[in-house]
Amino acid sequence: MWTPSTSVPLLWEPISLLAYLMVSVTDSIGSIPALAVSLPFAAGAILAVYIFGLIIYRLTLHPLARYPGPLLARITNLYAVYHAYIGGCVRYGPNKVIFNTNTAIEDIYGRSANVQKSTAYRAFETSRTVHDTQSTINKVAHAHKRRVISQAFSGSAIRSFENHVLEHVDAFVAYLTPADENEDKSEKMLWSPSADMAQLCSRISFDLMAELVFGKAFHMLDVADNRFIIELIQVAAFRVGVCLQMPLLAAWNIDKVFTPNVRKLRDQYVLVSRALAVDRMNMNSKRQDIFSHILAAKDPQTGKGFTMDEIWGESTLLIVAGSDAISTGMAACFYYLSRHHKAYAKAYIEVRSTFSSANEIRNGQKLKSCHYLHACIDEALRMSPPVGGALWRETCQKGVNIDGHMILQGYDVGVGIYAVQHNPVYYPDPFQYKPERWIVSEDNTKVSVDLARSAFSAFSIGPVGCGGKNLAYLELRVTIAKVLWTSDMKSAIGRLPEKPKPKYLNRYKDHCENEYWLRDRFTSWKDGPMIAFRVRQT
C-alpha cells in the first residue's frame, strides 16, 4: 500500500488524495476476482471515489471552505459562468474568492498588492514563446512590458496622433447625419433611418485602432466586406472568456475538441493581425501612431525594447482591448443619453455653448471644462462597464489580507467590476442613470463624489490597469461631444426593435429595465441601442 509523503499532507492536497484513492481502490478491486477483470468498472469506481472525495475536501478541509458561496461554486468552477453577486465576500469557485468593496480594489489591484495575474491569463497566449502584456504573469516581466508600452499612451504620444483620431470621428459624425440642403422635407423625413449603435460604434472603434496600430483603416462604415474581422475578434474574446473561467480547457487544448470553429476563427484572427503587423513594419514611414511609438520605445530601467514578435503580440492585444472598450463605452453613452432627456439636454447645451463649431472640438482645456459631458460618460461606464467581471489575481507568498480576510498563497481573488459599481454603499440608486453623482454640488458633497470615485473600476487601477485609458477617454469625449454639437438624436425603439433580453433576466427585471444590457465574454457583446439622428435644429 502506497502512503503519501509527509511533506505533502494528504488532507490538504487533492492530487495526493487522488493518488491515494486510486491505489486504494485498485488494490481493493484486485482482491476481488469477479471485479479484477473489469477495467471499465475499476476506472469508473476510481473516478466516482475521487469525485466524492474531492467534493468532501472542498466543502470541509479546503482553506477556503469557511467562505460562503453557492454549493456549485464551492465544489466546481461551473458557477462562474453565471453569477449573481450578493454580499461583500463570496467564494466564487473552489480556489476563488470575490469581493465587492472599494477597499478590496486597493488591496487586490493597488501598486503594493502582494498578488500577480492569475495563471488563467495564459488563455490569452497567442504563442507559447512570446507573451503580450495581458498574458504575462510574472510581475517583473509584466512591469518591463508596461514601462515600454505606456510610452505609446503618454500625453505627448496621444497629441502626436490626435489628428488620426479626429479624422475617424468626423467620418463617423458625417455618416450619422448626412448633409441635406432640402428644406422642404417633413419633420418625419428629417430624421435618419434608425441605426444600431452597437454595430456602428464597433466599426468606428475598430477602424480607429487599426489606423493607430497598423496604419491601415478598413473603412468598415462603408465597406461591408471588411467587417468579418470584428466577428473574428468577438469569437477570439469568447474563447478567452470561457477559458479564463475554466483554464484547463486551454491548458489541455479541450477547446479545440468542443469548439473547433471558435478555435479556428481565433487562429484566423491571429494570422490576420500578424500579416497587418508585418505590413505596418514594412511601411518605413515617419507617421506618428501607436505602432511607431512602441517600435521606438525602450524600457528606461533596462534600455531594452520589444522584439518584432512582441510588437506583433501587443498589436494584436491592442486591437481587441482598445476597440471593445471604446465601442462599449460609446454605445452605452448613446443608450443612456437617448433615454434620459434631461441628461441629454444638459449635455448638448453644455457642448454647444462651449464650442463655436464642431471643428473646434478636440483635446484641450475647453473639452476638459465640459464637466457634465464627462459625468455622462463616467456614469455610462459605471452602469455598463466594458469588462464587467473580475480581473483575477493570484495571491503570492505570505498571502494577502483583503477586508480583514487572510487569503493564503496560491488562490485567486478579485472584485466584480459590475457588482462593485452597482453597490449602493458607493452609489445610491445604483440602477439609475445619474451623471450628477460625479459632480460636486449643493446636493452632492465632495465626500460623496470621492466615495463614488473610490469604487469606479471601469479601467481597473494600479500596475495592471488599462494602459490605453487616456486614449479611450479622448475618443469617447471627442465623439460624443461632436455628435451632440452637430446632431439631434432620439431613441428609435419601435422603428426597428432591439433584440429581446434572455428570459433568465426576468428575475432582475427591475434592475435591467433601465440598463444597457451587455453579455460578458471578457469583452462585451452588445445589441443596440437603435437611434435616429438629424442635423441639429437649434
CA 514 to chain centre: 21
Helix-strand-coil split of the chain, %, nearest 5? 55, 10, 35
Strand partners, 90: 98
DSSP E strands, 57-176: 89-93, 96-99, 115-117
Query: How many angstroms separate the CA atoms of 530 and 500, rounded?
Result: 13
State whether residue 243 is helix, strand or coil: helix
Return the axis-axis angle of helices 197-214 and 469-486, rounded to nearest 10°: 130
Q: Is 295 exposed, middle or buried (0-12, 13-18, 19+ CB in 10 A)?
A: middle
Find the helix or strand (DSSP H, E) in which 355 lies.
none
Distances (CA, A) of 394 to 92, 109, 111, 412: 14, 11, 15, 4
Cβ neighbours around 369 below 10 Å, total:
11
Query: How many angstroms separate the CA atoms of 14 and 20, rounded?
Result: 10
State whether residue 91 is helix, strand or coil: strand
Which of 459, 429, 416, 469 minimizes the C-alpha distance to 102?
416
Whether the bond between 529 and the residue before it is cis, its omega within 30 degrees of 0, is yes
> Residues with Cβ < 8 Å from 29, sequence gap 6 or more?
35, 36, 38, 41, 42, 45
Strand partners, 405: 402
> Residues with Cβ < 8 Å from 376, sequence gap 6 or more?
333, 336, 337, 343, 347, 435, 480
- How would you label 310-336 residue by residue, b for 16+ Cβ within 10 Å and e otherwise? bbbbbbbbbbbbbbbbbbbbbbbbbbb
Q: Judge whether 201 is annotated as a binding position.
A: no
Annotated binding site for heme: 466
Annotated binding-site residue numbers: 466
